C-alpha cells in the first residue's frame, strides 16, 4: 500500500486537521515536476574541476547563525532557523538558499512545509501538556484509591507500610536517580519537590503510576522517629465521592440533597464503583497516549517521505538538514508519552488486573475486529433465501386466490399486522447497515460517537447478516402460516400459534444470556432501551437519545405489538368475529403507545436542560411536546373522523412539521448557515457533491409532510386494509435512515473541530483542602 493511503487510513478521525497535509504537499511537488519537465534540458557540469569549484564556492556559506558550515553540500539548499513566538514557543522557518529563479514552487513548498510542521509540533506539544496535567489528577486519584482500599479491606492494618508498598514499591526500588516521566533526562529525586495531593512536599520516583509522589527525606525522618504521628490515611479526610447522577438512586439523592458530592461510606460497594470508574479513566488515558505516540510516528514518517520525494524530483539535497531539525524538535525528541505508556501499563496491571499482565494488556490493547469471509457468505445465503421465500409467499397467495375472496381479505387483514412489525424492523436494520457502510467509507467515527467498546462494534456486513437472517425467519413463518391455513381442517387452531412462536424466538435471541449472536451488542441495545424508559432518572448520552429518535419513527411497529396482545386476547377468543377497534382499552393504548417514544425524548430534554443548563434543550423539549399533541390529535382523527378533528390535524401537524423540519436541517444537520463558505450549507462538508445535501433537505421536507395522506385520503384499489398507512410508515423509516447519516456527520465534524477523540469519564474523588483551593 502506498504511504499516502496508509497515512490517511491511520489518522485519528477527530485529529485529521492536526496532521500534516501530505496530499497538499504532494500537489506542490507535482507542480514542481511539471515545471522541471517543461524546461529545456541543460548539460550538467560533469568535469572534476567544475565540481571542485562549485564545492569551494558554497562550502564556506554561513548557514546557521554565523557559524561557518563545512559539512555536506546538501546543507547549501536550505537553512532552518528558529523564530521566537508567543507563549515562549519555538517556530521553525526555512530559508531557501538556492537561486530563486524558476524555484518559486520550491519556495512555496518549504513555506507550506514549515506551516505544517509548526502546526503538528504545536498540536503535539499542547496535547502532551494536557496529558501531563491529567497525570497529576490521576496521581491524586490513585492516592485516594489506595488509601480507601486499605481502609475498606483491613481497617486495623498498619496503614503507612501498606500505602508505601502498594503505591511506590519503595522496599524493592530505591534508586537515587531515575528518569522522570515529566522530563527525558535523569533527575535527582532528593532535590525535586512537587506538591502532593494533600499538601506535602514530595518528589518523583520510579513507581507504579504516572506521577510518583514521595519525599525520601520525609521517609527517612519517619523511619528515624519513634512516634508516628502522621497517618497517610488522613488523605481520606480531604476527599469526597463525586456524584455523577448516572443511576436512578444517585439522581434521586442528588435532587433531594442538591449536592454533587457525597461523604465516603467506606463500603465495599463504594470501593468497587470507584475502582470501576478509575479503571475506565485509565483505559481512556492509555488510549490517548497510544494515539499521541502514533500521531508522532505517522507525522515524522510523512515529513521523511515528502522530503525524499522532493529530493527525487528536484535533485537537490535537503532532507538531512530539515529532518535534523525535525528530530531536534519537540515532536521528534519528546519521550514523555513513551515513558507514561510504560508507567500506566505497570499501574493498570498491578492495581486493576491483579498483577496479571496478559489480562491487563488485553484490556488496554483490545484487538481490532477482523472481517470474516464467512459473514459475507452467510449473509448472501440468507439474502437469497429471503428473496426465494418472498417469491414463494406471493405465488402461494395468488395460487390460493385469497385476495379475491372477502373471507380471504378479512383473514389477511388480521394476520398481516402480525408480520408487518418485522418488516419495519428489517427495513430499519438494512438502512442502519447502509449507514455504517457510508460512515466507515467517509471516515466518520461512529464507534466512538456511540461509545462502542473497541472490538465489539458491528460492521455493516454483520448488521446486514442479522437483517437478512430475521427476514428469512419471518418469511419462512409467514409461508408456513399461509400453507397451514390452506389446510385448516388438518392443523386446526395450531395455525394461530405460528406468529406467537416467532416472536418468542425473537425475544429469546434478544435476551439470550449466552455469548452467541453478538451478546455485547444485544446487551448494549437492551441497556439503551432501559435507559430510554427511565429517561429522567439516567444521565442522557448520545446513544440514548439517538435510540429514542429511532423509536419515534417506529410508532407503527410499537402499535403492532399492541395488536399481538389484542389478537390473542380478543380476536382469537371470538373466532375472528371481534375487532380490536371495538374495545375501548385498545383505543386508549393506541393513543398511549403512539406518544411513548416522544415522551422519552421529552424527558431526556428536560434532564439535559437541568443538567447542562442549555437553553436549546428547552426548545427541543417544546418541539417534542408539540409533537405529542399532534400525534394525539392525529390518532383521534384516525379513530373518529370529523371536520373538527380534520382542522385540528392540519393546524397541529403543520406547526409541528415546520418546527421539526427546521430542527432537522439547521440543528441536527448543521445546514443552512448564513455565513458559510458553502452557500446554504456549512463550512465543513464530508461529501464532495453539494447536491447530495440539497437533495436530502428536499426529501426530508417531503417525507415530513407524509401526514397529509390522512387528510387527502389516498385510496388505491389494489391496496387493501392498512397497506397505505404501512407504506407511509416505511417512508418514515427511510427518512430516519437518511437523517441518521447527516446527524452523525454533523456530530463527527463537531468532534473534529474540538479535537475530541476520547470519552470524558468523571473522576471519582473530589479533593477539599486549602492548597487545592489556592491552586484553583
Cell of 33: 515536476
Residues with Cβ < 8 Å from 505, sequence gap 6 or more? 473
Closest among 655, 737, 659 to 696, alpha carbons compared: 737
Q: Which carries the bigger pLDDT value, residue 502 or residue 491?
A: 502
Cell of 372: 470474516
Q: Which residues of 705-738 are buried (b: 16+ CB within 10 A; e: fewer)?
A: eebeebeeeeeeeeeeeeebbbebbbbbbbbbbb
Residues 10-29 pLDDT 10s: 999 999 999 999 999 999 99
Mean pLDDT of 708-735: 72
Mean pLDDT of 169-176: 34
Dist CA 483 CA 132 (whole Å)? 70
pLDDT of residue 206 exceeding 60, the answer is no
Dist CA 382 CA 467 (whole Å)? 9
Task: State residue 368's pLDDT score.
Answer: 80
Task: State residue 189's pLDDT score.
Answer: 33
Task: State residue 546's pLDDT score.
Answer: 96
CA 739 distance to own-chain centroid:
17
Closest among 467, 462, 611, 491 to 539, alpha carbons compared: 611
Dist CA 557 CA 593 (whole Å)? 10
DSSP string, 194-233: EE-TTS-EEE--S-SSSS--B-HHHHHHHHH-S-----GG
Tell me the pLDDT band of 486, cut-offs 50, 70 and 90.
confident
Cα distances (Å, whole numbers) of residue 439 to 192, 453, 493, 524, 710:
50, 17, 48, 20, 35
Cell of 311: 529530493
Residues 509-557 pLDDT 10s: 999 999 989 999 999 999 999 999 998 888 899 999 999 999 999 998 9
Tell me the pLDDT band of 586, cut-offs 50, 70 and 90.
confident
Residues with Cβ < 8 Å from 116, sequence gap 6 or more? 20, 21, 24, 25
As to burial, measured by CB atoms within 10 angstroms (0-12 exposed, 13-18 middle, 19+ buried), residue 701 is: middle
Tell me the pLDDT band of 182, cut-offs 50, 70 and 90.
very low
Mean pLDDT of 560-575: 76
Least confident of 247-256, 439-448, 679-688: 247-256
Residues 69-95 pLDDT 10s: 444 444 457 777 777 666 556 788 877
Least confident of 212-216, 400-404, 530-534: 212-216
Q: Is 315 left (phi over 0), alpha (psi -120 to 50) or beta?
A: left
Tell me the pLDDT band of 407, cut-offs 50, 70 and 90.
low
Q: Can you say whether the dihedral through the CA atoms of 293, 294, 297, 299 is positive or negative?
A: negative
As to burial, measured by CB atoms within 10 angstroms (0-12 exposed, 13-18 middle, 19+ buried), residue 416 is: middle
Q: Is 749 left (phi over 0), alpha (psi -120 to 50) or beta?
A: alpha
Residues with Cβ < 8 Å from 129, sequence gap 6 or more? none
Dist CA 183 CA 185 (whole Å)? 6
Q: Do residues 456 and 25 touch, judged by C-beta distance below 8 A?
A: no
Closest among 359, 482, 355, 326 to 416, alpha carbons compared: 482
**What's the whole-model pTM score?**
0.82
Residues with Cβ < 8 Å from 304, sequence gap 6 or more? 319, 323
Mean pLDDT of 467-490: 86
CA atoms within 13 A on the CB side of 759: 21
Closest among 306, 300, 310 to 330, alpha carbons compared: 300
pLDDT of residue 56 exceeding 80, the answer is no
Strands (E) across 38-148 are located at 62-64, 67-68, 78-85, 89-96
pLDDT of residue 156 exceeding 90, the answer is no
89-96 and 67-68 as β-strands: parallel, antiparallel, unpaired? unpaired
Closest among 737, 727, 726, 738 to 698, alpha carbons compared: 738
Geometric angle at alpha carbon 39, from 36 and 40, rounded to 5°: 130
Tell me the pLDDT band of 296, cut-offs 50, 70 and 90.
very high
Q: Which carries the bigger pLDDT value, residue 104 or residue 203?
A: 104
Residues 656-711 pLDDT 10s: 999 999 999 999 999 999 888 998 999 999 999 999 999 999 999 999 988 776 66
Q: Which carries the bigger pLDDT value, residue 192 or residue 240?
A: 240
> Would you state the torsion angle of the CA atoms of residues 263, 268, 271, 277, taken in this order, to the nearest 10 degrees?
-110
Q: Which carries the bigger pLDDT value, residue 274 or residue 178?
A: 274
Least confident of 161-165, 182-186, 300-304, 690-694: 182-186
> Would you state the torsion angle of the CA atoms of residues 409, 415, 417, 423, taken in this order, to the nearest 10 degrees?
-110
> Would you state the torsion angle of the CA atoms of residues 180, 186, 190, 192, taken in this order, to the nearest 10 degrees?
-60
Residue 667 gets which letter from DSSP? Answer: I
Closest among 607, 600, 596, 597 to 540, alpha carbons compared: 607
Tell me the pLDDT band of 264, cut-offs 50, 70 and 90.
confident
Q: Which carries the bigger pLDDT value, residue 205 or residue 103?
A: 103
H helices of 365-516, in order, are 373-400, 406-441, 446-450, 460-486, 488-491, 497-511
Residue 744: strand, helix, or coil: helix
| 694 phi/psi in degrees, rounded to 5 | -65, -40
Dist CA 392 CA 678 (whole Å)? 50
Q: Which carries the bigger pLDDT value, residue 193 or residue 697?
A: 697
Cell of 493: 387452531
Q: Quick one: what percent of the chain has pLDDT higher than 90?
A: 41
Amino acid at each position: 500500500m502506498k504511504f499516502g493511503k496508509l497515512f490517511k487510513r491511520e489518522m485519528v478521525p477527530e485529529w485529521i486537521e492536526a496532521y500534516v497535509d501530505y496530499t497538499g504537499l504532494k500537489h506542490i511537488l507535482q507542480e514542481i515536476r511539471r515545471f522541471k519537465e517543461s524546461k529545456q534540458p541543460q548539460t550538467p557540469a560533469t568535469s572534476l574541476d567544475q565540481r571542485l569549484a562549485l564545492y569551494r564556492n558554497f562550502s564556506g556559506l554561513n548557514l546557521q547563525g554565523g557559524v561557518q558550515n563545512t559539512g555536506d553540500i546538501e546543507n547549501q539548499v536550505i537553512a532552518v532557523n528558529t523564530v521566537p513566538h508567543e507563549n515562549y514557543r519555538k517556530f521553525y522557518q526555512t530559508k531557501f538558499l538556492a537561486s530563486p529563479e524558476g524555484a518559486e514552487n520550491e519556495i512555496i513548498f518549504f513555506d507550506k512545509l514549515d506551516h505544517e510542521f509548526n502546526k503538528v509540533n504545536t498540536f503535539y506539544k499542547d496535547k502532551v501538556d494536557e496529558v501531563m496535567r491529567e497525570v497529576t489528577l490521576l496521581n491524586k486519584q490513585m492516592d485516594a484509591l489506595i488509601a480507601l482500599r486499605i481502609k475498606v479491606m483491613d481497617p486495623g492494618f498498619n496503614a503507612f507500610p501498606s500505602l508505601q508498598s502498594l503505591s511506590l514499591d519503595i522496599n524493592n526500588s530505591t534508586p537515587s536517580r531515575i528518569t522522570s516521566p515529566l522530563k527525558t533526562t535523569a533527575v535527582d529525586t532528593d532535590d525535586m519537590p512537587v506538591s502532593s495531593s494533600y499538601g506535602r512536599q514530595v518528589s518523583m520516583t520510579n513507581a507504579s503510576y504516572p506521577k510518583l509522589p514521595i519525599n525520601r527525606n520525609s521517609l527517612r525522618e519517619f523511619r528515624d522517629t519513634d512516634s508516628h504521628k502522621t497517618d497517610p490515611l488522613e488523605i481520606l479526610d480531604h476527599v469526597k465521592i463525586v456524584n455523577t447522577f448516572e443511576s436512578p438512586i444517585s439522581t434521586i439523592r442528588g435532587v433531594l440533597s442538591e449536592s454533587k458530592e457525597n461523604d465516603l461510606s467506606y463500603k465495599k460497594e463504594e470501593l468497587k464503583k470507584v475502582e470501576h470508574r478509575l479503571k475506565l479513566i485509565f483505559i481512556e488515558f492509555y488510549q490517548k497516549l497510544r494515539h499521541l505516540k502514533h500521531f508522532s510516528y505517522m507525522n515524522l514518517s510523512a515529513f521523511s517521505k515528502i522530503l525524499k520525494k522532493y529530493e527525487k524530483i528536484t535533485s537537490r539535497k535537503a532532507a538531512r538538514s530539515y529532518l535534523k531539525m525535525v528530530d531536534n524538535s519537540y515532536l521528534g525528541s519528546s519521550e514523555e508519552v513513551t515513558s507514561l505508556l510504560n508507567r500506566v501499563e505497570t499501574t493498570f496491571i498491578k492495581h486493576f488486573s491483579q498483577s496479571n499482565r496478559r489480562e491487563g494488556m488485553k484490556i488496554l490493547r483490545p484487538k481490532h475486529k477482523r472481517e470474516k469471509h464467512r459473514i459475507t457468505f452467510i449473509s448472501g445465503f440468507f439474502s437469497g433465501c429471503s428473496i426465494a421465500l418472498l417469491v414463494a409467499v406471493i405465488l402461494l397467495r395468488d395460487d390460493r386466490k385469497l385476495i379475491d375472496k372477502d373471507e380471504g381479505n378479512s383473514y389477511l387483514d388480521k394476520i398481516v399486522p402480525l408480520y408487518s412489525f418485522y418488516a419495519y424492523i428489517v427495513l430499519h436494520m438494512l438502512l442502519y447497515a447502509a449507514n455504517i457502510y457510508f460512515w466507515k467509507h467517509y471516515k466518520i467515527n461512529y464507534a466512538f460517537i456511540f461509545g462502542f467498546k473497541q472490538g465489539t462494534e458491528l460492521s455493516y456486513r454483520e448488521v446486514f447478516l442479522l437483517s437478512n437472517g430475521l427476514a428469512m425467519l419471518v418469511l419462512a413463518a409467514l409461508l408456513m402460516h399461509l400453507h397451514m391455513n390452506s389446510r385448516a381442517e388438518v392443523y386446526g387452531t395450531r395455525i394461530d400459534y405460528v406468529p406467537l412462536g416467532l416472536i418468542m424466538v425473537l425475544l429469546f435471541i434478544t435476551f439470550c444470556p449466552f455469548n452467541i449472536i453478538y451478546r455485547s451488542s444485544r446487551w448494549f441495545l437492551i441497556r439503551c432501551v432501559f435507559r430510554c424508559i427511565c429517561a429522567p432518572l439516567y444521565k442522557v448520552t448520545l446513544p440514548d437519545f439517538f435510540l429514542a429518535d429511532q423509536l419515534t419513527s417506529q410508532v407503527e411497529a410499537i402499535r403492532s405489538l399492541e395488536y399481538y396482545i389484542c389478537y390473542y386476547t380478543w380476536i382469537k377468543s371470538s373466532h375472528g368475529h371481534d375487532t380490536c377497534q371495538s374495545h375501548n382499552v385498545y383505543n386508549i393504548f393506541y393513543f398511549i403507545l403512539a406518544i411513548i417514544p416522544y415522551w422519552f425524548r421529552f424527558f431526556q430534554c428536560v434532564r439535559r436542560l437541568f443538567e447542562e443548563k442549555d437553553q436549546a434543550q428547552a426548545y427541543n423539549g417544546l418541539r417534542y411536546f408539540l409533537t405529542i399533541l399532534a400525534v394525539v390529535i392525529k390518532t383521534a382523527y384516525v379513530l373518529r373522523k370529523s371536520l373538527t378533528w380534520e382542522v385540528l390535524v392540519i393546524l397541529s401537524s403543520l406547526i409541528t412539521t415546520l418546527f421539526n423540519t427546521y430542527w432537522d436541517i439547521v440543528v441536527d444537520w448543521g445546514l443552512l448557515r448564513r455565513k458559510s463558505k458553502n452557500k446554504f450549507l456549512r463550512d465543513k462538508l464530508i461529501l464532495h457533491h453539494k447536491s447530495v445535501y440539497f437533495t436530502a433537505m428536499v426529501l426530508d421536507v417531503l417525507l415530513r409532510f407524509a401526514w397529509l395522506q390522512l387528510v387527502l385520503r389516498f385510496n388505491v384499489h389494489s391496496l387493501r386494509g392498512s397497506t397505505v398507512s404501512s407504506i407511509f410508515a416505511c417512508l418514515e423509516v427511510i427518512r430516519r435512515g437518511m437523517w441518521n447519516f447527516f446527524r452523525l456527520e454533523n456530530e463527527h465534524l463537531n468532534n473534529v473541530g474540538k479535537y475530541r477523540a476520547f470519552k470524558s469519564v468523571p473522576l471519582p474523588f473530589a479533593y477539599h483542602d486549602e492548597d487545592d483551593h489556592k491552586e484553583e
